[in-house]
A = this chain, B = another copy of it.
Amino acid sequence: MAEDSSRAFTWSCPPLFRDSDRILLAHGGGGRLMQQLLEKLFLPAFANDALERRHDGAVVEVGGLRLAFTTDSYVVRPLVFPGGDIGSLAIHGTVNDLAMCGARPLFLSAGFILEEGLPVATLERVVGSMREAALAAGVALVTGDTKVVDKGKGDGIFINTAGIGLVEASQPIGPRQVRPGDAVILSGDLGAHGIAVLSVREGLEFDAPVESDSAPLWAPVQALIQAGVELHCLRDLTRGGLSAALNEIATAAQLAIRIEEAKVPVREAVRGACELLGLDPLYVACEGRFAAFVPGEQAERAVEVLRRFPVSAAAEIAGRVEEAPAGTVILRSRIGANRVLDLLSGEQLPRIC
């Protein structure tokens, strides 16, 4: 392999998009358009097992070790919101993606894209939050990069973090491990992160201000592993909220997921804000909540373990997995009516993370 530059490559991107097609905000929204971009462009280009597994991170083997590897860019607007800022978010998001692989988060990288003219004080605040969040999550930020773009070509601060974790779960975790009969456990109440960000963006005032749920999730996941709970799939409920997460899993597993609305925890203030704003909390992003798919008979024990941790004290068994209709998420409302919980085509809340 002295020099590869002369190799001829035959791959060319199939013409799946029209010439006139342009990127929309919704391509980054966790809904149908993002899935399309993934399926038509990224997966065919980089085809490999790890990507095909369609999980929050890749599990790769290096020298006999099972490592989890993941990345996320953070473009939240505004940079600071009740309960956090882009810095703490950039640590929690990546640490949680590793946790969703059943991996102990070890090392993070950070890449900053700064806009010319950004007050250095803002950067100092954000870096301070990253430091605190990394310490609290027990990870070391070991490598980084800073780029600056001209004024008007960025938006203050964008941060990318990538992370390496050591897989502690003994079984593979992912959508394809989900089985009929699995219980769907939610680790806590939904939508607080999205509403917290939106409240600042839209200048809303609530009687009781809603704080983001942004938090690290490895501690409760590790406790589940150590308690011997068989984790089929874990998924944090970020972009697109519970609905996007369950739809991705139902599609990848080709199974049906049935959820009881009465068992989905939503705080009163969040519910009120959602009504006011015309949002459905099942589609609103969290940054410290996850869904766990475990064998039905282990569900009670899993909830018991989760409730020992403040971050997952409100855990509930919210649904179950069935054979059919494959690839579908069905919500049973409080009054007993069933409706299909679909992926959004558009974008409900841009730049929420």
Please list the residues of chain A having a beta carbon within 8 angstroms of any beta carbon in chain B.
Answer: 1-5, 7, 9, 11-13, 17, 19, 21-29, 34, 37-38, 41-42, 45-46, 48, 50-51, 57-58, 60, 62-63, 65, 67, 69-75, 106-107, 109-121, 123-125, 127-128, 130-132, 134-138, 140-150, 152-155, 158, 160, 162, 164, 166, 215-216, 219, 308-311, 350-351
Contact = CB atoms under 8 A, between A and B. Distances in A.
Contact of A3 (B70, B124, B164, B309): B309
A312 to B, nearest CB: 9
A22 B116 CA distance: 8
8 contacts: A4-B136, A7-B135, A23-B114, A23-B123, A58-B142, A62-B65, A73-B111, A149-B155
Contacts of A118: 22-23
Given A60-B142, A114-B23, A146-B37, A131 B71 contact: no
Contacts of A164: 60, 62, 67, 69, 164
Contacts of A34: 146
Contacts of A50: 107, 140, 142-143
Given A73-B145, A75-B149, 13 more contacts: A22-B119, A23-B117, A46-B142, A48-B140, A48-B142, A51-B144, A60-B107, A69-B142, A71-B109, A72-B145, A73-B147, A150-B155, A150-B351
A23 B116 contact: yes
A80 B22 CA distance: 18
Taking chain A's interface residues, is the majority helix, strand, or loop, or is none over half, making it mixed?
Answer: mixed
A103 to B, nearest CB: 11
Contact of A154 (B116, B123, B131, B153): B153
A22 B351 CA distance: 24
Nearest to A57: B143
Contact of A70 (B11, B46, B121, B143): B143
A147 B106 contact: no
Contacts of A7: 135-136
A137 B48 CA distance: 16
Nearest to A50: B142
B154 A71 contact: no
- The residue among A25, A38, A146 with the most chain B CB atoms within 10 A of its own CB is A146
